[in-house]
Amino acid sequence: MKRVSLFLLFSLITCYSYSQVKPLDMQHLQKRLSRSDTVYIVNFWATWCAPCIAELPSFEKLQKTYKNQPLKVLMVSMDFQSKLKTDVIPFIRKHKYTTEAYLAIRKNDQEWIDQIDKNWSGAIPGTLIVNNKKGIRKFYEREFTYDELNKLYQTTK
Amino acid sequence: MKKLIVLLLIAASGLSFRTAGGGYKVGDVATDFKMKNVDGKTISLANYKNAKGYIVIFTCNHCPYAQAYESRIMALDKMYAAKGYPVIAISPNDPVAIPEDSYANMQKRAAERNYTFPYLLDETQDITRAYGATATPHVYVLQKTASGNVVRYIGAIDDDTEGKNPNKNNYVQKAVNALLNGTKPEITTTKAIGCSIKWKKEA
């Protein structure tokens, strides 16, 4: 019995040492970004996108650095919806990312892209920053280094 | 005379600046090009004397979204080349950034998959920039007219990259069918998630 509970405890710890990837549709994403006391930085990425993977550590670092500030970083995967269990969850687990992670649930790409930003061509990586209190909602179709990301946060918060 | 040439030069540079910004929009005249095909020959749109237009597709080896669409790109050429709308595939990426997209690897993939259409390397990336392609795959349907090759459709091949929806909207097919029927496409611009184009690092 003791062994079983130890095992359970151990699995709980390993389970929660990284983020659970949840499916997320547009309605829920918009709702997630609606608080006025929080700055949101939403990165759109995919497991197959090399420049995306290269910049994810910067987003993780930003969230960890400012964990005591009202900042929420979200990693929203644009992988195929069928790849949640085979690719996206194992990827987040492997890299032990603790930043909030989601998989975009969409009927088609276009609807999703246009609702994030009309000027987004659909190329990834892309990053959305939202500060409702200041009325800021800006989308960047580009890559970020940690310093650039930090600067973006500092000038938006 | 000299003054005129200078004026013309200024006008021309102004034009190229404009296109360098956002690329083509539907209704613009697309420039022709000379690019090396995987068979070693140089290809221009003008080579296709009997074409009524072109399905120009910026695509590449390495991108999973391009790979997901590869068989649909091949099908488009089989469907429309004989009707006067051949597929012209262009790889826009810097092979230094993505070795999988090198000329040799393009040759390999084209041979393995039996591409029935040219697969060109945009070595200078000038055409990619002029067209305004941002991701792979990215389609430009051109119609040959008296005033040049007019852009009639820009965007995705269909609205179902993952290939799961039997009722998908086949944008490119619909656009080309409309042109073949002597009408204009109903949907002229669409978007899809794709791999961003890998530009050469500035020297």
A123 Cβ under 8 Å from any chain B Cβ: yes
User: Which helix (DSSP H) or strand (DSSP E) does residue A62 occupy?
Assistant: helix A50-65
Q: Do A123 and B135 touch (CB under 8 A)?
A: yes
Q: Do B164 and A82 touch (CB under 8 A)?
A: yes
Residue-level pLDDT at B18: 35
Residues A93-141 pLDDT 10s:
999 999 999 999 998 899 999 999 999 999 999 999 999 999 999 999 9
Residue-level pLDDT at B3: 53
Contact B137, B73 (CB under 8 A): yes
At residue A3 the predicted structure's pLDDT band, cuts being 50, 70 and 90, is: low
Question: Which SS3 state, helix, strand or coil, does residue A103 take?
Answer: strand
Residue-level pLDDT at A107: 86
Residue-level pLDDT at A8: 55
The ipTM (two decimal places) reads 0.74
Judge whether residue A60 has pLDDT over 80.
yes
Residue-level pLDDT at B112: 97
A49 Cβ under 8 Å from any chain B Cβ: yes
Nearest chain A residue to B168, by CA: A108
Q: Which pTM was predicted?
A: 0.83
Judge whether residue B5 has pLDDT over 90.
no
Q: What is the DSSP string of B13-48?
A: HHHHHHHHHH---TTPEEP---EEETTS-EE-GGG-
CB contacts, 8 Å: B190 with chain A: 110
Mutant choice from B60, B100, B191, B199 vs A, greatest count of A C-beta within 10 A? B191
Average pLDDT of the residues in B121-135: 96
At residue A91 the predicted structure's pLDDT band, cuts being 50, 70 and 90, is: very high
> What is the percent of chain B where pLDDT is above 70?
89
Round to whole Å and give the CA distance between A123 and B65. Answer: 11
Instruction: Please state the φ and ψ torsions of residue B125, each to the nearest 5 degrees.
Output: 65, 10
Nearest chain A residue to B160, by CA: A108
Residues B73-125 pLDDT 10s:
999 999 999 999 999 999 999 999 999 999 999 999 999 999 999 999 999 99
Judge whether residue A43 has pLDDT over 90.
yes
In chain A the first and final C-alpha atoms are separated, in Å, by 51
At residue B11 the predicted structure's pLDDT band, cuts being 50, 70 and 90, is: very low
Residues B26-81 pLDDT 10s:
999 999 999 999 999 999 999 999 999 999 999 999 998 999 999 999 999 999 99
Residue-level pLDDT at A19: 85
Judge whether residue B2 has pLDDT over 80.
no
Average pLDDT of the residues in B190-196: 90
CA angle B98, B101, B107 (to 5 degrees): 155
Distance from CA of B179 to the nearest CA of A (A): 23
Round to whole Å and give the CA distance between A12 and A18. Answer: 11
Residue-level pLDDT at B166: 87
Nearest chain A residue to B136, by CA: A123
Residue-level pLDDT at A1: 54
Burial of B83 (0-12, 13-18, 19+ CB in 10 A): middle
Q: Do A110 and B191 touch (CB under 8 A)?
A: yes
Contact A143, A55 (CB under 8 A): yes
Average pLDDT over chain A, rounded to an integer: 91
Round to whole Å and give the CA distance between A41 and A45. Answer: 13
Residue-level pLDDT at A71: 98
Of A109, A113, A124, the CB nearest to B161: A109
C-alpha distances out from residue B6 to B16, B17, B41, B101, B132, Å: 15, 16, 36, 40, 27
